[in-house]
Amino acid sequence: MISGFQTALGGEALESSNFLTLFTVFMIVCAIMYLIVVLALMAGVLRKRRQADELTVEVGRHEESTPMVRGALVGWIALIGIGLVGLTIASFFTDRSNATVAANPQLTINVTANQWWWDVEYTDHQASNQFRTANEIHLPVGVPAEITLESNDVIHSFWIPNLAGKQDLIPGRVTDIQILPQKTGTFRGQCAEFCGVQHANMALDVTVESKADFERWVAAQERPAFAPMTRLELAGYKYVTTRECSACHNIGGTPASGQIAPDLTHFASRRSIAAGTLPMSTGNLYGWVADPQSQKPGNKMPTIGLSPDELHAVVAYLGMLK
């Protein structure tokens, strides 16, 4: 087992652990088959050489060896059959085991893919407990979660290698994936279907944490955005909630209520900016707000051309949206 930030060999959830077991079984069976083929090939070559070395070819020798060769051939075909049936059965039970997680999800998350970011909505039976975030998913360890998947534009693919396999997001259709995380950690998800020039910069920060930590995170996400405290933050608040930014972005508890770009209510609490393009830091925030097109060319956030005072204010305000 290899653990890491982004690896399909980590086995940090039931699904990826099942896949890892299946992968290991396939590797062992195929390696044994390969070894038998190579050994048989070598034996055949050596046998032919030995025959060539013996200058006098014994009459009838070929005929004598035929039943042995035939027996080996029948055995080999039987072994292939048993191997294939065995692998099919192993695949079936892996699939069944993964499917049982879907039977009783205790958490539902709606993820909508956009070029090139992830809109994440935590649904709850109480409307007041629903909230949206972007480019990050938090999951409580040991709790089966169902993630429904939609796309607003082209075909994307949802993939968190440490936790589960890939699932396509197709415009006009709703697909889903089930995950039962078994270990805490921070992982990287990645769009796995080429979806345009910034496909590589369409990542997802995934945090699997204890139930208590998850509930703390949910409680923080449900709160409206913090109010500005300093004059600079207040200037940023005014700019962000009344000018270009608010047409696309939503910030809970403020007049900014755009719905077509990532929700920024708790933006500064995230690990990265622009779907994993840049690590979250004040310096990167300056770079991103000043000129998003040079940081992630082709993305839908325009370079506005803020004055230095406006830039300082906007960054100060965004930086306090924890």
Find the shortest distance in angstroms from Cβ 279 to Cu ion. 20
Quickly count: other Cβ atoms within 10 Å of residue 202's Cβ: 28
Which residues on adjacent β-strands are paired with residue 148? 110, 176
Residue among 141, 160, 191, 251 that touches Cu ion (CB under 5 A): 191
For Cu ion, the closer of residues 154 and 280 by Cβ is: 154
**Contact between 166 and Cu ion (CB under 5 A)?**
no
CB nearer to Cu ion: pick between 168 and 222: 168
Number of other residues whose CB lies within 10 A of the CB of residue 148: 16
Size, binding site for Cu ion by CB under 5 A: 5
Q: Which is nearer to Cu ion, 166 or 199 (CB)?
A: 199
Give the DSSP H/E element, type plus range, for residue 99: helix 61-101
Does residue number 169 form part of the binding site for Cu ion (CB under 5 A)?
A: no
Q: Would you list the DSSP string of 300-320?
A: SS------HHHHHHHHHHHHT
Alpha helix positions (H), the chain: 14-53, 61-101, 211-222, 231-242, 245-248, 282-290, 292-295, 308-319
Amino acid letter at 227? A
Binding mask 114-153 for Cu ion (x = CB under 5 A): ----------------------------------------
Q: Whole-number minimum distance, CB 75 to Cu ion, in Å?
A: 48
The nearest distance, CB 262 to Cu ion, in angstroms, is 16
C-alpha distance across the termini of the chain, in Å: 35
Select from 42-50, 135-143, 196-204, 288-296 the region that touches Cu ion (CB under 5 A).
Answer: 196-204
Q: Which stretch binds Cu ion (CB under 5 A): 47-55, 103-111, 188-196, 209-217?
A: 188-196
CA distances from 128 to 131, 146, 229, 234, 270 (A): 8, 20, 26, 27, 22
User: How near is the Cβ of 289 to Cu ion at its closest, in Å?
Assistant: 24
- Verify binding: residue 199, Cu ion, rule CB under 5 A: yes
195 binds Cu ion (CB under 5 A): yes
- By the rule CB under 5 A, 204 interacts with Cu ion: no
Question: Taking CA 199 as the corner, what is the angle to CA 195 and CA 204, rounded to the nearest 5 degrees?
Answer: 115
Contact between 288 and 276 under an 8 Å Cβ cutoff? The reply is no
Query: For Cu ion, which is the closer residue by CB, 37 or 200?
Result: 200
CA pair distance 31, 24, nearest whole angstrom:
10
Task: Work out how close the CB of 276 gets to Cu ion at its nearest, in angstroms, rounded to a whole number.
Answer: 12
- Name the phi and psi angles at 168, rounded to 5: -75, 150
Tokens of 181: 């995380």
Phi, psi values for residue 152, rounded to 5°: -95, -10
Spatial contact of 251 and 268, defined as CB atoms under 8 Å apart: no
Closer of 14 and 195 to Cu ion (Cβ): 195
Q: Tell me how far, at minimum, the Cβ of 155 lies from Cu ion, in Å.
A: 8
Q: Which two tokens stand for residue 275?
A: 């779907």
Q: Which stretch binds Cu ion (CB under 5 A): 29-37, 160-168, 186-194, 283-291?
A: 186-194
Least distance to Cu ion, CB of residue 195, Å: 3
Which range, of 41-49, 91-99, 129-137, 155-163, touches Cu ion by CB under 5 A?
Answer: 155-163
Tokens at 40, concatenated: 């048989």
Q: How far is the CB of 113 from Cu ion (least distance, A)?
A: 8
Q: Which residues bind Cu ion (CB under 5 A)?
A: 156, 191, 195, 199, 202
